[in-house]
Structure 1
């Protein structure tokens, strides 16, 4: 089954939506200056060891710090203080972005991910996907990969079974070259700092979703060039799957992605049957409540409660992925009394979670009838990217982040520009947004080929605007 990746590049952000059979199953937004650092390498220096927590804090340079747990370094079961020391310099890779008050999480178990291969340069052995069963397939893939990856550990993905020897060999060479560049960086580094990369918001969303069964559609010539350049190195056979959108309508509007982003940003989600879902995020966990609302019809032989919960389970699993929710997730389903009903709902969740690339674990029901789920945290959630704490409610609520409003404004003007004359576009904006508009005024004017007349309006909320 082929997926479609839509990439919409804007002036301040690149947004991506992954579709399967025309259903949006994943979203990602990357912004210049705030691109996810997961997978990035740093040359760091251990600044402090917390013995009680078995954790080391690492100076990454430029006032940036991260933390390294004992399990993320080769320690052979020893405390981290016995295998490293304060002042020690070492190479580290980011495994989790910073969130709330937490710094980035680091690892010394390095990983390079390709379309068909996952390379662990300091690992050992070769592991094959369970779906690759034939010894002839294993030998063929192993021989092709080991032409360039003679040492280290290797995980062979299912897609490698259908890949040609040349594709596997080229990918192995690409991953090997990446590791060689990192080693050269480490050998020359003398103080903490980041391995220099040419990562852009567009390349970041592409690499985040890259797979063998992918068609890619981009909205701009610049995005096309970025994707084409990366594919030439990482997956040359996929260049023919890259398409430039050339219709007058917005790519995301055409596919209904704007509505999906809006829906995934809301606390409440209403389903066609009348069932409603509410998502309440705290620093500790996500609480999802299922409300039967106006749902009164059962489906087939199922009760109303089971029918509602099965529909809710499918949408909850999809929303968790769209929102990139992580950590502890508690789901309060409608009470069910039928024999085996809980198992049916659990099976529904497990089936959908299997296709989630982020490790998601269904723990089961508590004595109080609450479903427990955990999902590994890597990148920021959609909420953390699009919104910020509201200063008027002591941080208990959220409002659009300034960059979200700025990006929305530029997209609105870009779509509306044809209907405006050549005069300056008048914008009344709240204080925070007006300051950002003035800061980027020349950049936006060049992008739109139209002058702007910006006025700060104290009567408008910080990140709101009105067009004249």
Structure 2
């Protein structure tokens, strides 16, 4: 499978696209105005401790106080907290919506192959490395490289088949980095940020470039040079694959990445067969509805449904990665009567999700064809990052019809007529509502004027949306 990473750099934002066989799979975006916080280490101060919630709010110098749970305190060796106490913490989840950043006191520093945990003595290995012999080799290699110095390590998936010398280089780098962080931690008057994680481009070099990545193309010469320097020092096997892209054609126009990003903001996702998905994000969960659409198949209804669901399983896994959807996801597959068809669709979904770098787990399909997926939420979804709530519909996704608004206006006029005395009324509304009042509802408006005994005038306000109006007493 051919994979490339395309990196678009501008002064305002950096975008990283992971492309497999010419198809966009992942998008990572970092804006200069608000970089992600995950991995950053802060010296904070406990502003409020909530025993009932077994949690604390910690001021780390951000707009909103961050949140620390008791389990995360114990993991980092912190026994108890009091308000006003200074504390070294690390961000494990960016602020999302109205929620502040999520913290831990168990600080960890990642490199390409290992993650260093200074306050632990544990050696862990990624579950995706399932060969027992390789797991034993890696554990022994890390113990040898550690020597007698304290600390624990987790071996990442990319550590599989890596030499002891490469692991040792990672460990040495992380210990030097921790020494620098420790010095800042112990400065008596220092509060706020004491260590910032790498920029998006360098994180991509560290985390996204795997053996199957053929090229990394960067359209900024300055960032290309920085990426090369970083790669030569920390991930030398990546350096030969990094290329500067000087083309006049925007780099994200290759493989139609820009178009794919736009489509990833749509509710409806077309399937090649003629079927389609409908994806809806809510605060509590994301729902995915599978539909046959225009696909009628060549055999019978059961076969048509099965083929549509199979295609949908692969499309859903890609959309979760592309849109970075996390938390609870409910997939409503088209009902299948054949138990074997259900098993095959579920296995297809599991295989497709196995290629996702973000951990996801799947529950069995219910009798109604519903499948529950939980995918780790680490950052804002693409929609929340690039979009905002519609000011007209306030996030409902629908607007009241002009007829509904016209009836609301009639009720408002009656309400005003009963409470206040006035000579006449002026209705200020959008063009479409005024048109409805002047045309279809003209008789109703005339009867209302006769009932209240006062004239009603209409005025168009071009800046009003369909639901906005005013009833002015004149």
Q: Structure 1 residues 179 and 28, CA, compared in 2 at 3 Å: closer, same or farther?
A: same
For residues 331-352 of structure 1, the C-alpha deviation after alignment (integer angstroms, 9 at most, x for no partner) is 1111111122222111111112
Q: Which moved more, 1:190-199 or 1:365-374?
A: 190-199
* Residues 83/143 of structure 1: CA separation in 2 closer, same or farther (3 Å cut): closer
**For residue 146 of structure 1, what is the aligned residue in structure 2?**
146
1:244-281 per-residue CA deviation (whole Å, 9 max, x = no partner) reads 11332221112221122112111111011001011111
Farther off after superposition, 33-42 or 193-202: 193-202
Q: 1:75: Cα distance to partner?
A: 6.1
Q: C-alpha offsets along residues 132-175 of structure 1, whole Å, 9 cap, x if unaligned? A: 6158843763266326x832221223433433343222211122
Bigger Rg over Cα: 2
Q: Is 377-386 or 134-143 further displaced after alignment? A: 134-143
- 1:107 has 2:104 as partner: yes
Give the 3-state SS of the residue equivalent to 2:388 in structure 1.
strand
Q: Equivalents in 1 of 2:91, 2:197: separation in Å?
A: 17
Contact 2:184 2:194 in 1 (8 A): yes
Contact 2:209 2:238 in 1 (8 A): no
Q: Which runs of 5+ in 1 are unaligned?
A: 399-457, 462-468
Matches of residues 161-172 of structure 1 in structure 2 within 5 Å?
161-172=160-171
Counterparts of residues 209-288 of structure 1 (less than 5 Å): 209-211=208-210, 213-214=212-213, 215-288=215-288
**Residue of structure 1 in register with 2:394 after alignment:** 394
For the Cα contact (< 8 Å) 1:25–1:318, is it kept in 2?
yes
Task: For residue 322 of structure 1, report the CA deviation from its aligned partner.
Answer: 0.7
Per-residue Cα deviation, 1:276-303 (whole angstroms, up to 9, x for no partner): 0111111111011111101111699971
Provide the residue aligned with 2:376 in structure 1: 376
For residues 309 and 242 of structure 2, what CA distance do their matches in structure 1 show? 39
Contact residue 358 and residue 375 of structure 2 kept, 8 A = yes
Which residue in 1 is equivalent to 2:81? 84
- Counterpart residue number, 1:193: 192
Query: 1:94 and 2:91 equivalent?
Result: yes
Structure-2 change in CA distance of 1:174 and 1:2 (3 Å): farther
Q: Shift of residue 327 of structure 1?
A: 0.8
Q: Give the Å deviation of 1:390.
A: 1.4
What secondary structure sits across from 2:392 in the alignment? helix
Does the 8 A contact of 1:115 with 1:212 survive in 2? no
Q: How far apart are 1:374 and its partner, in Å?
A: 0.9
CA–CA separation in structure 1 for the residues paired with 2:381 and 2:299 = 34
Structure 2 matches for 1:10-21, cutoff 5 A? 10-21=10-21
- Other-structure match for 2:122: 125
Q: Could you state the TM-score of these two structures normalised by the residue count of structure 2? A: 0.77
Are 1:182 and 2:181 an aligned pair? yes
**How far apart, CA to CA, are the structure 2 residues paired with 1:392 and 1:135?**
56
- Structure-2 residue corresponding to 1:304: 304
CA RMSD of aligned residues (A): 2.9
How many Å apart are 1:320 and its aligned residue? 0.4
Aligned to 1:433: none
Deviates more, 1:57-66 or 1:378-387: 57-66
Distance 1:259 1:144, change over 3 A: farther
In the alignment, what sits opposite 1:44?
44
Q: 1:15·1:205 contact (CA, 8 Å) conserved in 2?
A: no
Partner of 1:354: 354
TM-score by length of 1: 0.78
Larger RCO (CA under 8 A, 6+ residues apart) = 1
**Aligned-partner Cα distance in 1 for 2:152–2:25:** 31
